[in-house]
Structure 1
């Protein structure tokens, strides 16, 4: 048999050939022994048992297409090492005379030691064959894993997931997930022992929804850091995960969406790989279930699965060649797929539907964070319209996750003019729907958390609004006086983006803030809370630069406030030194004569 090329892993058949040859040589040498014949004969019996087990394994290997090789290679390598040691000992027994007397001094202890090693190898091979021929998970402990019982469990569970009966595979996946949840060492061991591939295969093929959920849950418990997420990506797992998202029942989708959210949050490369496989498509489609979209066409009512097919067609048109796994081609197969999906969805309980939609919204949020590709894909369908509608009609985690998704897309659009113009053009229906809901959340004030996300989103979009946009500025200015300091601080940050040098309409927005009596509210915020100093003073600086001749700034003693706070704020934030200097200089031009005896700033 030709030897494998350097660096090339041996096939399983090649791994098994060496110990079988060693066993045959040992039996022959045992029969030729001239000393310690009884001991050699006993070793030959042990080796004969090992040889039979090795040959059984050879017969199993080609017959089992899904053979789990990791424990086979480990155990067979250990068996070969023990057989080599036994063969060396038996060959010494061919000597006679003086040499025989020399070797007899240690032969008894050596035979006892080698016999013990061979017995351990027999135990290992017996365990190995038992897990390949078992109807369920084998939790016995092979000698090779006596110092680390977890290794035997991991091998057994992975073997059952890969090779077991359908009814046992889900149980084994659950057990493997439970081990992974215990500690990081177990997670690492599962990855090193080849557990990711079988779990992905189980996720893809089933054979039942329960098995798929078990596989997704186990992967969630394993992929809890960037390195292990990367291993799932490279397996390759992303195409499998996206396919399951589009093809599976709602309960499975919920578990897989959680896996997507986890991977996207931990690894930017996984995030972009999901974008290449178009993971947002099935997520948006599922999220749109039971959502009444405001369509300009006369037709209204629940969004049907067939309308979702149209959404997918729109996305396919804009992303030709990148869909990967799409059933939205308008063919009878695609139509049948969505008819089935519609029937499955209608049969689910409200609790399951809500759980699925919450998970999909969370996955969209994690995918869109700092990702231009995913944010663009969501915006290119009716994704923004769907998110806006859910923010309007839903409450709780579903509403929160959708609002956070809008905020993340807006944050990406802030630094990308093309996305900003395409997704948030004020005259477009989706952008208008999003803006309506952001303003509603801000004005209702039912939840400070929701308000903060909505205010942050509007701040990110500050450069999309035309001059004198009182519809936006007015509600924001009111929140400067919010009793919740975090809401007021976030408002100061957002308004700062309306009047900063990068905003073309900064002068008009500054005048609007003054007209809506924002200056007194800002000064009150500065006096009331030390945490609000930096965002509040930055906003005040911008107002001083744009409308420094405003009577409102003079009456509020804005110059005194900036001069009094400049030293301490700049000391902690050196990057603000130039901004404070310019603002103070600008105000001095207009107000120096108005207050010859300025009072120091007292928060």
Structure 2
């Protein structure tokens, strides 16, 4: 995990300790100025400046100790450090003026210049301290520019906005969070500055408090704009931000849940550690629940005829036995009752929301599931163990646009993980599983009925990833994939070739039967045409042809399509670019020669 920034030694002190040092130095300087034997006027002027500065520092200490909220100390420590350096320099100068002598006149020009420089530095310190005081006195965000940030006004704005989120009234805190979101959206430098100046924790606190939906939305948007790379997402994770985000997702109003789901998707996309942390916090269940709102996921079997007396007696007996084993079910505790009331209220609130708002929430929740599922076995298991698969199938069936696409991508990521994990594949995609069959039906429907490559490609890829789950008799999958070999969109056709290659692969127990089915469905002619598109090597198509040759070398379709000549021609150019295909091509060519061209194996070299 990424290490949090190392604290500077001065930050180990309390704020009061760090502020006490310049106050002590100021008192010493005033005393030293009074004891000056030379440059008395200049020393007296410095003493006046320092006295003003000292009074302002004392006022700030009083305000910070009586503040109702936590003081944002980042600019305070930075300014206090600069003031301390300035006072040390001024004190050194006044101490040189305690004694007079003939040598002093030799350095009078330099001394006058030094006084002027120190006086300017003290004026800057006074301006910085005045700005700190204004953070407590202003009604809203302070947009004045302290001298310390004169070369970088963004720094002053960031300090001011973060300070307002710490200490300001609710409306101003929301406005400040919106301003940080805007700054973070502008460029990476602003994002880095907000993080380095301690902006993440107050934003998380504002999100967690739930004082107003507007404030939560502003905080979530700011965090979303900050979380654009792995390092910053990891920092949010390290400060325990994920439990806060998941908690808000489950409890907040719908318009807040929309932006929080968006934040989950962004963080999951950027960092694998954040993905796993979200799963541990059970965000998957909340996302599936929000995604499936207003969906009837239970399959209700219609009753045939009236219930018999025997069945009614048996049902009553089962209910009596259940309550006798669990007597607590007979009475609902008070806290459970309130929970049910809360659930009812939440349901009523959702029903009152507009369809557009509900759709936006579902779109973002589906995207979050998509990003969480990518390469994650734990997320894929969580989704398949809940009603997630059935929910995804229902939405793919009924919805269009971005929501349908996001659900298809989620299915694709789950099947990609299942392809390399036999346990997940067997548990989630059993042939007798209603949820798995519902997903499969919708994938086939998308392949056959949809015309958009954006939808067809993830559907085809999903079925290809599940190739090893289908028995030899399951030929209804092969036909639609074979048809896509003739698709006008080359990417769709190649995706179909890749998926069929997984069916025909020697790694697939039923590879031989699937190969014969591909040929029976007329897959060879469109495959041969695909290999000649744009005179470019179509590797997926070539691999599929090799598998067909190995599994069904005596096929008339392969002979009529001159598959042997195609493989020999490809071998001369392909092995130079794709050396890993050398052995596969050699085996396929050798196998075909046993059935074609008089049955005499060709002795062709494939050395580049």
Match of residue 313 from structure 1: none
Residues 164-563 of structure 1 mapped to structure 2, 5 A cutoff: 164-296=168-300, 331-531=336-536, 533-563=538-568
Residues 37/298 of structure 1: CA separation in 2 closer, same or farther (3 Å cut) = farther
Q: Is 1:223–1:263's contact at 8 Å kept on the other side of the alignment?
A: yes
- The separation in 2 between residues aligned to 1:150 and 1:519, in whole angstroms, is 64
Residues 298/336 of structure 1: CA separation in 2 closer, same or farther (3 Å cut) = farther
- Displacement of 1:596 in angstroms is 11
- Displacement of 1:102 in angstroms is 5.1
- The separation in 2 between residues aligned to 1:68 and 1:7, in whole angstroms, is 16
Q: Is 2:593–2:599's contact at 8 Å kept on the other side of the alignment?
A: no
Bigger shift: residues 70-79 or 441-450? 441-450
Deviations along 1:229-274, one digit per CA (max 9) or x if unpaired, are 2222222211111111111111111111111111111111211121
- The separation in 1 between residues aligned to 2:597 and 2:8, in whole angstroms, is 85
Please, which runs of 5 or more residues in structure 1 have no aligned partner?
300-328, 599-603
- Displacement of 1:48 in angstroms is 1.5
- The separation in 1 between residues aligned to 2:441 and 2:537, in whole angstroms, is 28
Match of 1:54 among 49, 52, 57: 57
Q: Is 1:525–1:532's contact at 8 Å kept on the other side of the alignment?
A: no
Deviations along 1:450-477, one digit per CA (max 9) or x if unpaired, are 1111110000000111112112112211
Residues 67/529 of structure 1: CA separation in 2 closer, same or farther (3 Å cut) = same
- Would you say 1:21 and 2:41 are equivalent positions? no
Residues 118/298 of structure 1: CA separation in 2 closer, same or farther (3 Å cut) = farther
Bigger shift: residues 530-539 or 430-439? 530-539
Q: Is 1:199–1:219's contact at 8 Å kept on the other side of the alignment?
A: yes
- Displacement of 1:206 in angstroms is 3.3
Deviations along 1:268-293, one digit per CA (max 9) or x if unpaired, are 12111212212212111110112222
Q: Is 1:489–1:532's contact at 8 Å kept on the other side of the alignment?
A: no
Q: Is 2:370–2:410's contact at 8 Å kept on the other side of the alignment?
A: yes
- The separation in 1 between residues aligned to 2:111 and 2:85, in whole angstroms, is 19
- The separation in 2 between residues aligned to 1:528 and 1:342, in whole angstroms, is 55
- Would you say 1:128 and 2:135 are equivalent positions? no
- Displacement of 1:174 in angstroms is 1.1
* RMSD, matched Cα: 2.2
Match of residue 323 from structure 1: none
SS state of the match for residue 573, structure 2?
A: helix
- The separation in 1 between residues aligned to 2:396 and 2:9, in whole angstroms, is 60
- Would you say 1:35 and 2:13 are equivalent positions? no
Residues 171/298 of structure 1: CA separation in 2 closer, same or farther (3 Å cut) = farther
Q: Is 1:549–1:590's contact at 8 Å kept on the other side of the alignment?
A: yes
- The separation in 1 between residues aligned to 2:100 and 2:489, in whole angstroms, is 96
- Displacement of 1:81 in angstroms is 0.6
Deviations along 1:513-544, one digit per CA (max 9) or x if unpaired, are 12212122212322345457211111010011
Residues 545/5 of structure 1: CA separation in 2 closer, same or farther (3 Å cut) = closer
Match of residue 88 from structure 1: 92
Deviations along 1:316-373, one digit per CA (max 9) or x if unpaired, are xxxxxxxxxxxxx993454344223212211211111111110110111011011111
Residues 47/382 of structure 1: CA separation in 2 closer, same or farther (3 Å cut) = same
Bigger shift: residues 392-401 or 56-65? 56-65
- Displacement of 1:221 in angstroms is 1.5
Match of residue 161 from structure 2: 157
SS state of the match for residue 470, structure 1?
A: coil
- The separation in 2 between residues aligned to 1:332 and 1:504, in whole angstroms, is 54
Match of residue 601 from structure 1: none
Residues 580/448 of structure 1: CA separation in 2 closer, same or farther (3 Å cut) = same
- The separation in 2 between residues aligned to 1:6 and 1:565, in whole angstroms, is 67
Number of aligned residues: 566
Deviations along 1:530-572, one digit per CA (max 9) or x if unpaired, are 4572111110100111111222212221111111111112211
Residues 164/6 of structure 1: CA separation in 2 closer, same or farther (3 Å cut) = closer
- The separation in 2 between residues aligned to 1:481 and 1:284, in whole angstroms, is 37
Match of residue 116 from structure 1: 120
- Displacement of 1:594 in angstroms is 6.7
Residues 92/179 of structure 1: CA separation in 2 closer, same or farther (3 Å cut) = same
Q: Is 1:23–1:48's contact at 8 Å kept on the other side of the alignment?
A: yes
